[in-house]
Structure 1
Amino acid sequence: VELHAFDNLLEVWGDGQMIASHPRRLHPGNSTAAEHMPERHRHHQQWTPGRLKNWAAGVGPDTLTWVSERLAEKTHPEQAYRLCLGLLSLTREYPSERVNNSCRLANTEGLNRLKQIKSILKNNRDLVPADGDLHPSQELPQEHENIRGPRHFH
């Protein structure tokens, strides 16, 4: 395979025939023609950071925070689309409230992987109230017959 690079054009040649031709970009970024992309990559082109954030906001404020942070930490937001779509599609399997609660936990604990959020949901960690969220009547009594105290241990 040979690559012929001109000022405004790149050509790929193989066995004496031109295989592909692309306009040359002089500034950073992707220049892949949509028709050369796999179908699933073309599907992602319809998404924008704004559209993902709108969907996330509909799920809840903690989901919006998680999605916004994933988009911001990538050099190109498009690199986070699959991750964000994976998170948002969890609303097909779980109620929005649970997905948002799992994002709250993820934001608090600094979790940025979809696998970690799925684990939170699978193990129902989003349903356990945070320590500060316990109502006084839910707290365990500190004085009862089963508490042995320090003198019980040698």
Structure 2
Amino acid sequence: MPHRLIGCTLQVRLTHRVVEIFHDHQRVASHVRRSQRSGHVTINDHMPKAHQRYANTTPANLIGRATQIGPNAAILVERMMRDRPHPEQGYRSAMGILSLAPRYGSQRLDAACERALTINAVTYSSVASILKSGLDRERPQAEHAAPTPAHTNIRGRSYYQ
């Protein structure tokens, strides 16, 4: 049923092969009936534009859009979809990440994605928090291993020969 007719009174004609929908005695939709007992048929033209964009989304499409932002954004979006049982479960998070680009710019968003990947925080909320707090502008501090102080408890190299 076309989305513009939600809430309207409609007439439906079902035949063995066809489903027809009428509004004010005018046919507004028609499609071949599914042979399976349960399920539904979705026709993209009947959806609102925003739903059409979402329905036509693919992992390759999202990763391609993230690649235009930067390599780290692409890796993060790819991991979001790979780490979920079904890639579609990562679509909303990935779209959220991509929606941050107009506000913060591609460079900052890619830097935030890099930082999120470094700390293994592959979520929309982590990237948004990094951007909000400005951590994307700071370089991560390298962890330096402090040299072990000399004391009598440490065996020397000769001990192991």
Q: By the TM > 0.5 criterion, same fold?
A: yes
The amino acid across from 2:73 in the alignment is T
Corresponding residue for residue 126 of structure 2: 116
Q: Check if 1:80 corresponds to 2:87.
A: no
Q: Which consecutive segments of 4 or more residues in structure 1 shift more than 2 A?
A: 23-26, 30-43
Corresponding residue for residue 42 of structure 1: 52
Label 1:96 to 1:25 Cα distance change in 2 as closer, same or farther (>3 A).
farther
Say if 2:80 and 2:123, in contact at 8 Å, map to a contact too.
Answer: no
Within 2, Cα distance between the matches of 1:25 and 1:103? Answer: 46
SS at match of 1:131: coil
The amino acid across from 2:124 in the alignment is L
Within 1, Cα distance between the matches of 2:51 and 2:60? Answer: 18
Aligned with 2:80 (options 70, 75, 91): 70
What is the TM-score when the length of structure 2 is the normalising length?
0.58
Aligned with 2:117 (options 78, 91, 107): 107
- Give me the CA root mean square deviation: 3.6
Q: Check if 1:53 corresponds to 2:42.
A: no
The amino acid across from 1:126 in the alignment is D
What is the TM-score when the length of structure 1 is the normalising length?
0.60
Within 1, Cα distance between the matches of 2:35 and 2:105? Answer: 45
- Point out the structure with max Rg over C-alpha: 2
For residues 88-117 of structure 1, the C-alpha deviation after alignment (integer angstroms, 9 at most, x for no partner) is 111110111110110011111111221121
Aligned pair count reads: 121
Label 1:107 to 1:87 Cα distance change in 2 as closer, same or farther (>3 A).
same
Q: Which runs of 5+ in 1 are unaligned?
A: 1-22, 133-154
Within 2, Cα distance between the matches of 1:89 and 1:121? Answer: 13
Task: Using the aligned pairs only, state the percent identity.
Answer: 32
The amino acid across from 2:110 in the alignment is N
Within 2, Cα distance between the matches of 1:114 and 1:88? Answer: 10
Q: Check if 1:97 corresponds to 2:107.
A: yes
For residues 90-149 of structure 1, the C-alpha deviation after alignment (integer angstroms, 9 at most, x for no partner) is 1110111110110011111111221121111011001111224xxxxxxxxxxxxxxxxx
Tell me how far 1:42 sits from its aligned partner. Answer: 3.4
- Counterparts of 1:127-138 in structure 2, within 5 Å, are 127-132=137-142
SS at match of 2:104: coil
